[in-house]
Structure 1
Amino acid sequence: MTKDTDSGAELDNRSTPDGFSLDVRLWKVTKAQSKTRPYQLRWKVGGKVSSATFATVALAESRRSELWQAMRRGEAFRIADGLPESEVRAEATAEQVREELPWFVFCREYMAMRWPTAAAKTREGIADGLAAVTLALVEQEPKMPSPEELRLAFRWAVIPKNAELDPPEELEDAYGWISKKSLLVSSLEDPKILRDVQYRISFKLDGTPAAGETSRRRRRALNTAVEYAIERKLLTENPLTAIKKVRSSSSDRVDPRVLVNKTQAAQLLASVSYVGTWDRKKGRRLVAFYAVMYFAGLRPSEAVGLRKADCFLPEKGWGVLTLHDTHPVSGKQWTDSGERHDKRGLKSREAKEDRPVPIPPPLVAMLRAHLKEFGTAKDGRLFTNERGGLVGSSTYWRVWRDAREYALSPDLQASILGGRPYDLRHTCITTWLNAGVPVAEVARRVGNSPEVIHRVYEGCIYGQEEAMNKKIEKELDWPEGEGH
């Protein structure tokens, strides 16, 4: 007998397949313990209880209606999972029509689909994530190419313009391996393989944990590829939902040891001017480049494209930099132009949205002096290399490395203090936070969300306890002698 516990409807028994039953009891929607899926539906088939949780009561009631209609039609339900016959048949049909495709072939198709609308850095990020996953989705044999060779061959192969080309000689063996030994996309449903995929996402080739942002970026790349595989009917559901994220011990938080103090910053900027021969002015033309990171919190990719028209530089007082775009560095193979710099809109903003950044008088003076000595490029950019082109990442890294040798003692040179040009931006943000600038305002000026500022810089804020205590004490204004 099939029953609905709310209405008391009954249906005649009939013969049922093995593992199925007509003895079904369906309960009302109730509250669940989950915060994200707070509504629960329970039903019993052949004495075994099945359940499902939902984000909204409407979804839960809709599912209840589907099961009730199946009961009214006289369908038997599968005891193992509580599914009605019609859904079991549909599931089996989907399995039969599912297309099988090697992972490597799928990745080339997926990259070709994403390429036209993705930024260069996004293309490279997707390729990196899928390359890591590919190490788990090829046949494993003792004499196979090394993981690094497989990774490089994959990254080369998924660039659409390379589809009809022969691989470079040094990548031939690895390319041949991933071409012939690639597992099927449906292998992602194998728990053992899926665990290896998770490891590859979360760890470097040397076995050390990947940075938190790296593992998140790789997982995002895989997740969007899997969603496309579901659209292509290569998978029936997303297998990533079945496993928990591996928590890497690596943190995105800024290490306070990289931050420079005011004296060190002044020494470093002065030392930049001594890099290179005086007549070629290699270092001198980049002093203000590093200064906009230290005083205004610009990213290197934003400083590269800064134009004179973006700068309000009064003779006295504060000025403003109004940022419109960024020039992130990618390999030439990832950009449409074939150049290393890809011009894009500002990070975390709409394509045409700008970001005004107030700048203090010392930076205003440095930028005015820079313009007076070096002028601008033909397109109005403030910072150029010695040939008038864009300042490459290799250039500003080398100049910074040499400046550290001039400015810092041997023991500090060996440390991580100011080890990267980007550490000047970290120093700027930390300086503002420690000065008491509200997190929301810091986030607005540097182009991040308040959540990112809290997470990344929480270990760099100091000296605020006494000031905060005084604010709380003033707000309480408790009468003396009370409460004893």
Structure 2
Amino acid sequence: MSDITYDVKIWNIETRSGKRKTSYRVTWFVAGERFDEKAGTYALAESFRSDLVVAARRGEAFDRVRGLPISKLRSEADMPFFAFACKYVDMKWPRAAGKSRAGNADALASALPAMLANTRGKPDDRVLRRALTGWAFNTKRRDNAKPAEIERALNWLQANTLPVSRMDDTAKLREVLDQISLKLDGKQAAAKTVNRKRAVVYNALEYAQELKLIRANRLSEVKWTAPKSVRAIDKRVVINPAQGRKLLAAVAAQKVDTAPRRSSGPMLRAFFAVMYYAALRPEEAAMLCKRDLQLPESGWGELLLSETAPITGAAWTDSGERRDRRQLKQRGKGEVRPVPSPPPLTTILHEHLNNIGTAADGRLFRNLTGGDLAESTIARVWDNARRAALTEEEYASPLARRPYDLRHACVSTWLAAGVPSTQCAEWAGHSVAVLHQIYAKVIAGLESAAHQRIERALDWHDESDE
């Protein structure tokens, strides 16, 4: 069945008197489907009805889904994609985290080349990307002063992008998907990156439909194979307890002998320890404060997490700082996630408080001047520790290559110890479904031990072994 029809019937304007005001309704039928449009004055209602009548009399087709003449749909959907993308990021900005803001800008900048009307006089691709992610798709910076080449690039984009209505066409959507799957150098982007960008494009299309710039979000209709995304961890990254202790000792042992420089190593031993023993994310560890610690002198304690501070860049945060201080991931503001502190971690935290102390605001971990930890510092200290604690073969392997792998090691240890997956998910701060996806290989490796526990519970033994 076609999306257009010439079967149109238009009723007279209906007046409705309410307690406070009178409203006017235009009612019409397109292929038997009823449509209504309310107006606050008779003149507005008459103007809208007149447009419908004129279109019907001149034999214009009407859209079955929205009930409007094709000419009216086209005039409403003439917003250029560049202007729409700016409108979309502005809509998302107030409630979005810094990383989400940067991710939205990156995804739309990747999609935009598929929505160019022509390439005559097109600026260099890298200049266009800088113009989009640095200014156009950054609500906070859009009106700031710009270099001349950026101004020229933005002016060119304003005049050379297709209308959003072209995204009603699945062939054009396929071009967009192909475009976001590529890096700036033309090589294939990582599966996780492509899937993230596709999610942004899908959400933007939902907004375009809400604004009636397109008839429907047809992205799911495109038969397009996305790169396969691997969520399960590589078991080769997981360290054992002996390796964990060696790595933490190697962090603490780092020193710089040349005065007045000092090493961040001793200050970061507890930082890596809370990731290894309590499965904190790096951005959660960065915000851990003395008030969050419920520690006895020794033995089991508890960490009460309520804040996180991922590194997003000063351009994307409301505060202008590189770290975006927010509530915990996927939790409401002020919500607390308790995590157990095993005896080794309790000891390390006490030593940190006694020997290192805290920043002025109570944070346990900071740089040498008391500010926020830099990503480069964390990476450098961890790389030095791996080089010192591991063999050459281990150092060259994926074993604990990233600090984040300490979190994987912690959750893997919990699972291996028989902690129920529901409890592991609660402590780690994600859903059971996500835990099963990420740690599927670890959980599969525990099946034999689970079988043995069930056999003991059933008081069963194989008589053939006797």
Q: Contact between 2:5 and 2:63, CA under 8 Å: does it hold in 1? A: no
Query: Is it true that 1:161 corresponds to 2:161 in the alignment?
Result: no
Q: Deviations over 1:236-284 (max 9, x none)?
A: 2112132245332231221112222222222221111233416724210
Structure 1 187/350 Cα, relative in aligned 2: closer, same or farther at 3 Å?
same
Amino acid at match of 2:301: G
Structure 1 69/308 Cα, relative in aligned 2: closer, same or farther at 3 Å?
closer
The aligned runs of 1:135-214 (5 Å cut-off) are 135-139=113-117, 141=119, 144-145=122-123, 147-156=125-134, 157-168=136-147, 171=150, 174-206=153-185, 209-214=188-193
Instruction: Give the structure 2 partner of residue 112 of structure 1.
Output: 90
2-structure distance, mates of 1:143, 1:96: 27
Instruction: Give the structure 2 partner of residue 219 of structure 1.
Output: 198
Query: Percent identity among equivalent residues?
Result: 43
Instruction: Give the structure 2 partner of residue 308 of structure 1.
Output: 290
1-structure distance, mates of 2:462, 2:346: 49
Query: Is it true that 1:464 corresponds to 2:446 in the alignment?
Result: yes
Q: Contact between 1:209 and 1:250, CA under 8 Å: does it hold in 2? A: no
2-structure distance, mates of 1:85, 1:225: 26
Query: Is it true that 1:358 corresponds to 2:340 in the alignment?
Result: yes
Could you tell me how far 1:293 is from its partner in structure 2? 0.2
The aligned runs of 1:66-465 (5 Å cut-off) are 87=64, 90-92=67-69, 95-139=73-117, 141=119, 144-145=122-123, 147-156=125-134, 157-168=136-147, 171=150, 174-206=153-185, 209-244=188-223, 246-277=225-256, 280-461=262-443, 463-465=445-447
Report the 3-state secondary structure (helix = DSSP H, G, I; strand = E; otherwise coil) of the residue aligned with 1:314. coil
Amino acid at match of 1:410: E
Amino acid at match of 1:192: A
Where does the alignment leave 5 or more consecutive residues of structure 2 unmatched? 8-29, 35-60
Could you tell me how far 1:169 is from its partner in structure 2? 5.4
Which shows bigger deviation, 439-448 or 153-162? 153-162
Report the 3-state secondary structure (helix = DSSP H, G, I; strand = E; otherwise coil) of the residue aligned with 2:115. coil
Amino acid at match of 2:228: S
2-structure distance, mates of 1:19, 1:123: 41
Which shows bigger deviation, 255-264 or 144-153? 144-153
Report the 3-state secondary structure (helix = DSSP H, G, I; strand = E; otherwise coil) of the residue aligned with 1:322. strand
1-structure distance, mates of 2:242, 2:323: 33
Amino acid at match of 1:101: M
Report the 3-state secondary structure (helix = DSSP H, G, I; strand = E; otherwise coil) of the residue aligned with 2:104. helix
Amino acid at match of 1:237: A
Structure 1 380/166 Cα, relative in aligned 2: closer, same or farther at 3 Å?
closer
Q: Deviations over 1:121-167 (max 9, x none)?
A: 12112112212211322246498455444333211121123333453
Amino acid at match of 1:117: R
2-structure distance, mates of 1:313, 1:89: 62
Could you tell me how far 1:333 is from its partner in structure 2? 0.4
Report the 3-state secondary structure (helix = DSSP H, G, I; strand = E; otherwise coil) of the residue aligned with 2:140. helix
Root mean square deviation, CA, Å: 3.0
1-structure distance, mates of 2:63, 2:342: 70
Q: Contact between 1:124 and 1:334, CA under 8 Å: does it hold in 2? A: yes
Q: Contact between 1:313 and 1:320, CA under 8 Å: does it hold in 2? A: yes
Structure 1 268/479 Cα, relative in aligned 2: closer, same or farther at 3 Å?
closer
Which shows bigger deviation, 215-224 or 127-136? 215-224
2-structure distance, mates of 1:86, 1:145: 38
Amino acid at match of 2:208: A
Instruction: Give the structure 1 partner of residue 18 of structure 2.
Output: none
Structure 1 357/111 Cα, relative in aligned 2: closer, same or farther at 3 Å?
same
Could you tell me how far 1:98 is from its partner in structure 2? 2.0
Q: Contact between 1:135 and 1:151, CA under 8 Å: does it hold in 2? A: no
1-structure distance, mates of 2:423, 2:265: 33
Could you tell me how far 1:209 is from its partner in structure 2? 4.8
TM-score normalised by length of structure 2: 0.79
2-structure distance, mates of 1:414, 1:170: 43
Aligned length: 408
2-structure distance, mates of 1:153, 1:274: 45
Amino acid at match of 2:77: E
Q: Deviations over 1:83-130 (max 9, x none)?
A: x98947924355255231111111112222222222211211211221
1-structure distance, mates of 2:207, 2:286: 36
Where does the alignment leave 5 or more consecutive residues of structure 1 unmatched? 1-17, 22-65, 71-83
Instruction: Give the structure 1 partner of residue 37 of structure 2.
Output: none
1-structure distance, mates of 2:349, 2:417: 24
Q: Contact between 1:252 and 1:456, CA under 8 Å: does it hold in 2? A: yes
Could you tell me how far 1:478 is from its partner in structure 2? 7.0
2-structure distance, mates of 1:438, 1:299: 20
Q: Contact between 1:404 and 1:413, CA under 8 Å: does it hold in 2? A: yes
